[in-house]
Amino acid sequence: MLKFFRISHWPPPRVLATGFALIILLGGFLLTLPFASSDGTTTPFIDAVFTATSATCVTGLVTVDSGSHWSVAGQVIIICLIQVGGLGFMTMSTLFAIVLRKRISLRERLILQEAMNQTNIEGIVRLIRKVLLYSITIELAGAILFAIRWSFDMPLGKAIYFGAWHAVSMFNNAGFDLFGSFGVPFVSFTDYVNDPIINTVAMLLIIFGGIGFIVMSDIIEYRARKRLSLHSKVVLSMTGILLAVGTIVIFIFEFTNMNTLGELSWSGKIWASLFQSVAPRTAGPNTVDLAALRQATQFFIILLMFIGASPGSTGGGIKTTTFATLIGAVAAMIRGKDDIVMFKMRLARERIFKALTITMLSLALVTFVTMCLATTEDHSFIKVLFETTSAFGTVGLSLGLTPQLTTIGKILICLTMYAGRLGPLTLAYALGPRSEKELYRYPEGKITIG
C-alpha cells in the first residue's frame, strides 16, 4: 500500500494523471482570485476549476464566457493552461531541461513515451524537440495571419493579442474564444461563417494540431526519406475520409435548415459544412448555431467527436487509428481473413486488443456519465449525450447545456474531460495496481458468438 504513495515507484500513467490533476488545481486556484475576473470579484470555485479543467484538458466547454467574464490576467492564465495541457506538462518540463542543458533521465523518457503514445523510448527526446519547434512555428504563423485579418476589425494591439491567443487555442484543439467580449457571450466564430481567411487559418491550425506530431514530422521529412510510416498513412487517410464524409453529410442534412445553412450563399454553405466537419476533430469552435442543427446532424457530430483526433496530438477521442483498426477488424472478419492488413502491412494482435479495449472503456464512460447527467439535469437526452461526448473527446462543442449545469453536473463533466484527456486506458493503468506476468495459461474454451 505504501508503494502507491511513493512517487519513485509510480508507473508513468500515474505520474501523468497526478501531474494533470495538480495543474488543474493550481489553475483553478489562480482563476478564483479577484484579479482573474473582469469585474474584480471572486469567481466561484466550481466554475474556476471547471474552466481550468477545460483549459488543461484542451476541451473548450465553459460555464462562464471566456471573453467577458475573465480579465486579461485570467485569459493569460487560461491560455497558459491550454498550452501546457495541449503539449503535455512533461513536454514543457523537457523544454526547460533542454534550455538548462540538464540530462533527461530514463524514468523521464518512459513518462514522455507514455505521454506521446509511443511504443518505445528510442528517439523520444528528439521527438520532443520537434514537437516544440513545430508547435511554436505553426502557432506563430497562425497568430500572424489572424492578427493581419483582425486588424481590419479592431485596433492593432487587440488584433495581435486576439491572433496569438486564438492561434494557441486552435492549434491545441482547445476551442476557447474571446469573442464574448464584444457583448454577446458564447458566440464563438459565428460572425465569420463566410470569411475564407478566418475559416482557412482556423481549420489548418485544428488539423495540424489534430493529426499528431509524429505525422507532422513524417510529412516534413518526406522529401528526404521518400516514404511515410504506416501510422502516418492511416492517420492521413482516415482524417481525409472523416473530413470529406463529415462535410458532405452536414451539407446535405442542413442545406434547407434556415436556422443554420439555409440562408447562406453557396460558398457560405460549403465553408460552414467544412468547418463543422473539422471542429469535431476535438477543436471546439463553431461558425453556426449548433443548437439549431437538426437532431440527425447533432447525432452525426457526436459520432465524429467520439472518434476524435489522432494519437500523439493535442486532441482527444478514441483516435482515428483506433477507429481504423476496428473498421479493419470488421472488414477482415467479413472477408474471412485472419489478419488486418493496411497498406500491405499486417497489424499485430495486441494493437487490435488495445483498440477494442479503448473503445469499450470509452463507450462505458460516455454511457455512464450520460445516464448520470440525464438524471441530474432537466434537459433533452440529445443535449446530454452531446455535452458528455464533447467532454470525453475534449472537443468543446456545446448545445448550450454547460452554462446551465448543476454543481453535480459540472463535477461529472470535469471528471469526463480529465478522463478524456488522459485516455480511459491510461487512467485505468494509473489507478490500478501494477500488473504482474502470469506464469500459467488456462485451457482454451469455445463460446458461440453472434
Question: Which grid coordinates are listed for 36?
Answer: 482573474
The maximal CA–CA distance of the chain, rounded, in angstroms, is: 73
pLDDT in tens, 268-292: 999 999 999 999 987 888 999 999 9
For residue 3, the model assigns a pLDDT of 46
| Low-confidence residues in the chain, pLDDT < 70 | 1-13, 88-125, 127, 183, 425-439, 448-450
Q: Which amino acid is at 150?
A: W
Distances (CA, A) of 408 to 182, 359, 403: 31, 26, 13
Question: What secondary structure does DSSP assign to 93-105, as a single string?
Answer: HHHHHHHTT----
Nearest to 262 by CA among 292, 217, 236: 292
For residue 88, the model assigns a pLDDT of 67
348: which DSSP letter? P
What's the residue count for the chain?
450
> How many angstroms separate the CA atoms of 161 and 146, rounded?
10
pLDDT in tens, 18-67: 878 888 999 999 999 999 999 999 999 999 999 999 999 888 899 999 98
Nearest to 52 by CA among 336, 431, 435, 413: 413
For residue 381, the model assigns a pLDDT of 93
For residue 1, the model assigns a pLDDT of 42
> How many angstroms separate the CA atoms of 272 and 114, rounded?
36
For residue 429, the model assigns a pLDDT of 59
The pTM for the full model equals 0.88
What sign for the dihedral angle of Cα 177, 395, 142, 94? positive
To 10 degrees, what angle do helices 349-376 and 381-392 make?
Answer: 140
Say if CB 240 and CB 251 are below 8 A apart.
no
Nearest to 206 by CA among 178, 239, 247: 239
**Contacts of residue 169, Cβ cutoff 8 Å, sequence gap at least 6:** 60, 79, 82, 175, 176, 177
H-run or E-run covering 341: strand 341-342
Percent of the chain with pLDDT over 70: 84
**Contacts of residue 160, Cβ cutoff 8 Å, sequence gap at least 6:** 143, 147
Rounded to the nearest 10°, the torsion over CA 195, 198, 199, 203 is 180
Nearest to 201 by CA among 189, 217, 215: 189
pLDDT in tens, 133-153: 888 899 999 999 999 999 999
